[in-house]
Amino acid sequence: MKPAKTGGSTRIFSNKNPAKLYLAIDNPTFDKIADFFEKLDNPDRDNLSIDETSYPPKKGKKAMTQRKPRTTRGKKSVAGDETEKSENQDALDMSQSLPRNPEVLKSTKLYRRATPPPGPVQKKPRLELMVSPDASNIKKALAQQSQPRTKALKGLFDNTTCDVLIYILPTATWTDAIKNPHIFSELKNIIPCHNVIYYNTKSQRTSGGFKTAIPGKLGTQIFDAEKRDVCLKQAFSLAENGQKVIHAPISQLSFLGGELNILGWATTMMDIVYRYIKIQEPDVGTPPFHVPVMRFVRGGLAICQNETKETYLVEEWIDGEFVKYIHNRSGQPHHFQNGEYDLRARFLSFCQHVQFYKTDKAAYVSDFQGGLELLTDPQIISDPDLGITPLFGDGNTNYAALAKDHHCNEFCDFYRVPKAVLGQDEPVGVEAPIAPRSITPTAKNEFPPGLSHVLGSSSSTMEGSKLLNPPSSNNIVDLTGIQDDTEDLYA
């Protein structure tokens, strides 16, 4: 850097040309400092490794070389230990005297190779020796190879897919449903999600009284984070020759929309039961038996996005054995040899008792069927005085069966469900439970009013019955864009 001249006087530095300062350290001092830092990073190592190829020397400068490792024969003397401590102290004193400015430190060119983190050295696992299959098995497997047969591959043509919009049934509690009775029937208010369904057109259909079902899969999970298996259901009717005829898309929407509405109300009425159990626990304690955790499947309405507009009721797939626990025409549960199923049948009978009590005899769930945890295809049995029939479809029959056929079990007795609601006498010596709750909630986080308060009395049956009816034809037009020119199944 040339000195700047100003009017005969000489200045050492110029504002326009800032100076760069370099710290010159002789080789012995540099070795001490580098060795000190190396020992700080790795106390177990005595040698300092400097990568000569990574940092070549500049012109006119002496190259940094690796220090030769210290070698001693036998044990170190006391004098040797003192010498090493003195060297370390000198390096420490020198390192503390170095400037702390990062830019200055950067210019000292003090480079050290990165050391591995402390801890035991991880050894790579040894590969196991591959055990070769028996020679006879190898020859047998190779001999079975041939050109795939057409018959075996023909089934691939039976697999099909369909882009769909799925209107997923909202998740709601009993309180939500009472506050908004249209929550499950106003499908046009549900934001659909796009998905793809896969199924085999030749799959064997299983049939109930009104619907057929085939297994399928979803392109993206919407019900369960780990499963894409679903059940695809469609409504049918019987022709004169006895064959099942699948309904047209418009009729499917009307029927399956009603089924989705029933599924939503049945789900919330199971919420009544578990809330009742929770409220009773402080008074009755822990039961001496297992209380099953059961719920209805999640579902939705899927409409194919093509010219056919095929419509399906999409539900979670139920694994394991499928059983019928309680028929919709009876108030008695089925009896099973299997203790797990028999326990659940009694529990679901208890659920009917609680629902009948908490809705002030307005309704209860029946036709319980499914697996050990998931249930499907429920039926809501409602008081005929609530309105014109059917409020919940053609399966809403035999309302009086529960009071006639129900026999209280260990669940009913332990959780003190009133027998008087069924017209039965309380056991002698047992204090009668309090009457059904009033409309006004109490401080005990009480339940909301029952269905009878929502739907109205028999004097307003026409208005009340509309709350739980299947979707109207106006909703169907909104979902599909197809005008309803078929007979309404619920007319």
DSSP codes of every residue in 351-410: HHHHHHHHTTTSEEEE--EESSSEE-S-EEEE-GGGSSSPTT-TT---TTHHHHH----H
- Site of tokens 């690796």: 66
Using alpha carbons, list the distances in angstroms from residue 183 to 28, 425, 477: 84, 38, 19
Mean pLDDT over each residue of the chain, to the nearest integer? 75
- Site of tokens 């053609």: 394
Q: What is the pLDDT of residue 490?
A: 29
Examine the pLDDT at 287 and tell me if it is beyond 90: yes
pLDDT digits (tens, 9 = 90+) for 249-285: 999 998 999 999 999 999 999 999 999 999 999 999 9
124 compared with 260, residue with greater pLDDT: 260
* CB neighbours of residue 125 within 10 Å: 6
Q: What is the pLDDT of residue 430?
A: 46
Examine the pLDDT at 2 and tell me if it is beyond 60: no
Domain ranges of the chain: 19-62+83-112, 158-480
- The average pLDDT across 142-148 equals 87
- The average pLDDT across 445-450 equals 39
8 A C-beta contact, residue 369 and residue 324: yes
Region of 448 please: left (phi>0), alpha (psi -120 to 50) or beta: beta
8 A C-beta contact, residue 352 and residue 331: yes
- The average pLDDT across 460-464 equals 31
Which of 293-302, 419-428, 464-473: highest mean pLDDT?
293-302
8 A C-beta contact, residue 99 and residue 25: no
- The average pLDDT across 75-91 equals 55
Q: Which helix (H) or strand (E) holds 71?
A: none
Q: What is the pLDDT of residue 155?
A: 78
pLDDT digits (tens, 9 = 90+) for 18-60: 666 666 666 777 777 878 777 777 765 554 444 444 445 555 5
Residue 236 neighbours by CB under 8 Å, 6+ apart: 207, 210, 211, 212, 244, 245, 246, 247
CA distance 19 to 9: 19
Examine the pLDDT at 228 and tell me if it is beyond 80: yes
CA distance 439 to 446: 9
CA distance 433 to 426: 9
- The average pLDDT across 443-463 equals 36
Q: What is the pLDDT of residue 156?
A: 83
- The average pLDDT across 295-300 equals 96
Considering only CA atoms, which of 275, 301, 109 is closest in space to residue 178? 275
Q: What is the pLDDT of residue 103?
A: 47
Using alpha carbons, list the distances in angstroms from residue 14 to 7, 104, 145: 14, 19, 87
Lowest mean pLDDT among 341-355, 401-415, 473-487: 473-487
Residues of the chain with pLDDT > 70, as a percent, come to 61
Lowest mean pLDDT among 43-47, 301-305, 330-334, 447-451: 447-451
pLDDT band at 147, cuts 50/70/90? confident
Q: What is the pLDDT of residue 393?
A: 64
435 compared with 73, residue with greater pLDDT: 73
CA distance 29 to 20: 22
Q: What is the DSSP letter of 156?
A: G
Which of 13-27, 34-48, 216-230, 441-455: highest mean pLDDT?
216-230
Considering only CA atoms, which of 386, 436, 388, 381 is closest in space to residue 403? 381
- Site of tokens 């007979």: 487
Q: Which helix (H) or strand (E) holds 104?
A: helix 102-107
- The average pLDDT across 362-377 equals 95
Phi, psi of 319 (to 5 degrees): -85, 160
Q: Which helix (H) or strand (E) holds 230?
A: strand 229-238
pLDDT band at 239, cuts 50/70/90? confident
Using alpha carbons, list the distances in angstroms from residue 331 to 55, 356, 404, 439: 89, 12, 7, 28
Q: What is the pLDDT of residue 22?
A: 67
Using alpha carbons, list the distances in angstroms from residue 295 to 105, 351, 352, 411, 423: 68, 12, 14, 17, 28
Length of the chain: 491
pTM of the model: 0.61
